[in-house]
Structures are given as structure tokens and as C-alpha cells.
Structure 1
Amino acid sequence: MDQHNKINYLEIPVKDLAQTKHFFNQAFGWDFTDYGPEYSCFNHAGITGGFYLSSHSFELSTGSVLIVIYSDDLLESISGVEGAGGTVSKPVFSFPGGKRFHFKDPNGNEFGVWSQ
């Protein structure tokens, strides 16, 4: 739902669109709507957004924003990430409010997954 002055959409750079779609579908169950050969919108991810072809990637060490996904089961999410070809870049740790881990997708982009 579009809401005035609210974050509405994310655009994420990826090096391989087909591999990225496969990874996020397998790891998190997202599906996609393609808009040409260089852009795909992700659906059922909590917020809509798109992946676009780029030679760039993002990670916290370069000052990037961290995109964080919620999970009911961190161990299941770790298995999903690794099974889909991602790598855990920061093992599960506690923080005020819960626990989380970080992973890199096949493009080298860093994401977080958290749970209460």
C-alpha cells in the first residue's frame, strides 16, 4: 500500500539477475516480475523492490545500509541461505531485541536476518 512519506521501494544492484532470482526464491520463497532483461521486481518480501544489473555490490564495511529480513527460525534461514548458494558472513549474535546473522548473496551483497 502506498503511504505518503513512507519508504515504499528498494532497488538493489546485482551482477547476475537469474542467479539472484534463483537464490532469493530458494532461500526465502520470493517471486519475481521481470521488466526487461536487466530488471526484476521482487514480490512477497515484506516490501517491494527490484534487482537491477550492475557491477557493484554493497556491504556494511563500505558504509552501506543493511537490509534486514525477519525470520521465525534463524537456523532454518541459515540452512536456506547456504543451500541456495549464499554464505554466512557474521554468525548468529545477540543484540537488544533479538538475535541475527549476516550473509552475502551470490553477488557479494550483505544482508541481515533477525529473530526475536
Structure 2
Amino acid sequence: MGMQGQDRQIDNIEFNVSDIDRSKAFYGDVFGWTFTDYGPTYTEFSDGRLRGGLTTGEPVRPGGPLVIVYGNDLEALQARVVAAGGHLTRTVFAFPGGQRFQFRDLDGYELAVWSAVS
């Protein structure tokens, strides 16, 4: 997930794709993005300013990428999401480099909040 972000700011954008190699070729050829692989189901991309990910770990999500916000305290932020009326789609779980949870906002947009392993 790259460098540690700032609390409660958008930190990453993740595309669920059906074929990582095909997507790497597409975005590399079209935009010149570079990639760092983190296993067979995840690669990080960099466009020189923003980092994001391509993953086959979740189903392809028509309608847009997963916007990921950085958070210092996942448990507190997860509670705030629920208190504000958001719907958790995945409670806090670990992945290489950190932990995250995912939720839908009041209009159904799915976002994630992640934190580096301390």
C-alpha cells in the first residue's frame, strides 16, 4: 500500500480486475504507470503522483474503483461509520502491510479505510 498516509485523507484507489497482467499491460501502455507486485492477487501501481492497486482478490465492481482512506485508529473510525449510518461490508481484516475495513455510505458507494501495521 505504499507509504503511510495522513489520518482521514484519501490515500489509495483500488481497481478490482479480472486479470492483473492484462490490466498492467493496459495501464502501462496507455498511461505509463509502473507496478510493484505483492503476490499473485495484488499489484500496486504508481502514476508518479498517486499510488493505487489492481487486485483479483474481490469481484470486478462495475461503476468505479474502490476509494481508500487512511486512518490511524480503525476501530474508532469503523464505529464512527456505523454511528453515522454507514453499512459495514467487511469488518477489520489483515492484509500484507496493514489492516482495513470496508463500508457503504448512505448512497451505496463503497469505500475502505486502512492503517499500516504498527
Report TM bin, short chain.
0.3 to 0.5
TM-score (norm 2): 0.47
